[in-house]
C-alpha cells in the first residue's frame, strides 16, 4: 500500500514536472511566435521600402530611355542643320555675296578650297556621329544596369517574403505542438 502511494506520489511529481516543463516550453513558443511576428512586420516594412526603391528605379529607367531618345534625336536633327548653315555662310563669304546656285560657278582654286572644306565638314560630322553613338551606348548601358538593380531588388523581396513566411510557419507549428502536448497531459492527470 505504501509502495503504491509512493509510486502514485512519484507519478504525480513527474506529471507536475512535465506540466511545468511544457508550460515553460509554451511560454517560450509564445514568445518565439510574438518575436517572429515582429520580425515579419519588420520584413514587411523592408519589403515596402524595397518596392518603393523598385518603383523609383522603374521610373528612372523609363525616364532615361525617354530622355536618351529625345536627346539623341535632337542631336541628330540639329547637327546637319548647323553644318548646312555653317556651309552656307562660308560659301557666301567666299563670294562676298549671299549664297546661291550661281556661287557654284567658281574658279578651280575656289572649287579646291570648297572641296577641302566639305571634306573637313564630313570628318567633323563623322566624329560627331561617333560621339553621339558612344554617348547613346553609355546611356543604354546605364539603363541596363538600372534594370539589373531592379531585378536584384525583386529577388531580394522574394527572399524576404520566403524567409519571413517560413519562420512564422515554424513558430506557429511549434506553438501548436506544445499546446497539444500540454492539453493531453492535463487531460491524463
Looking at residue 174, its pLDDT comes to 79
* pLDDT tens-digit profile, the chain (189 residues): 445 445 555 655 666 676 677 667 767 766 766 766 666 666 666 666 766 766 776 676 667 666 655 665 565 555 555 555 555 455 455 454 444 444 445 567 777 777 777 788 778 888 877 787 787 777 778 777 777 877 777 787 778 778 777 877 877 787 788 778 778 777 776
At residue 97, the pLDDT reads 45
Does this model's pTM top 0.75? My answer is no
Per-residue model confidence (pLDDT) at position 37: 67
pLDDT of 173 reads 83
Q: Which domains does the chain have, with CATH numbers?
A: 2-188 (1.10.287)
DSSP the chain: -HHHHHHHHHHHHHHHHHHHHHHHHHHHHHHHHHHHHHHHHHHHHHHHHHHHHHHHHHHHHHHHHHHHHHHHHHHHHHHHHHHHHHHHHHHHHHHTS---GGGGS--HHHHHHHHHHHHHHHHHHHHHHHHHHHHHHHHHHHHHHHHHHHHHHHHHHHHHHHHHHHHHHHHHHHHHHHHHHHHHHHHH-
Q: What is the pLDDT of residue 145?
A: 77
pLDDT score recorded for residue 29? 66
Round to whole Å and give the CA distance between 159 and 174.
Answer: 23
Residue 4: its pLDDT value, please? 44
Amino acid at each position: 500500500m505504501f509502495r503504491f502511494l509512493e509510486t502514485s506520489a512519484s507519478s504525480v511529481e513527474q506529471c507536475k514536472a512535465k506540466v511545468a516543463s511544457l508550460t515553460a516550453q509554451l511560454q517560450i513558443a509564445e514568445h518565439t511566435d510574438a518575436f517572429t511576428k515582429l520580425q515579419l512586420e519588420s520584413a514587411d516594412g523592408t519589403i515596402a521600402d524595397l518596392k518603393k526603391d523598385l518603383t523609383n528605379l522603374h521610373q528612372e529607367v523609363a525616364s532615361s530611355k525617354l530622355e536618351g531618345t529625345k536627346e539623341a534625336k535632337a542631336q541628330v536633327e540639329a547637327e546637319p542643320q548647323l553644318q548646312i548653315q555653317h556651309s552656307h555662310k562660308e560659301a557666301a563669304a567666299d563670294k562676298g555675296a549671299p549664297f546661291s546656285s550661281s556661287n557654284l560657278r567658281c574658279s578651280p582654286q575656289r572649287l579646291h578650297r570648297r572641296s577641302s572644306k566639305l571634306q573637313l565638314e564630313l570628318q567633323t560630322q563623322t566624329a560627331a556621329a561617333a560621339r553621339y553613338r558612344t554617348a547613346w551606348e553609355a546611356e543604354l548601358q546605364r539603363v541596363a544596369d538600372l534594370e539589373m538593380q531592379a531585378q536584384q531588388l525583386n529577388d531580394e523581396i522574394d527572399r524576404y517574403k520566403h524567409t519571413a513566411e517560413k519562420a512564422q510557419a515554424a513558430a506557429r507549428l511549434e506553438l501548436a505542438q506544445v499546446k497539444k502536448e500540454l492539453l493531453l497531459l492535463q487531460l491524463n492527470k
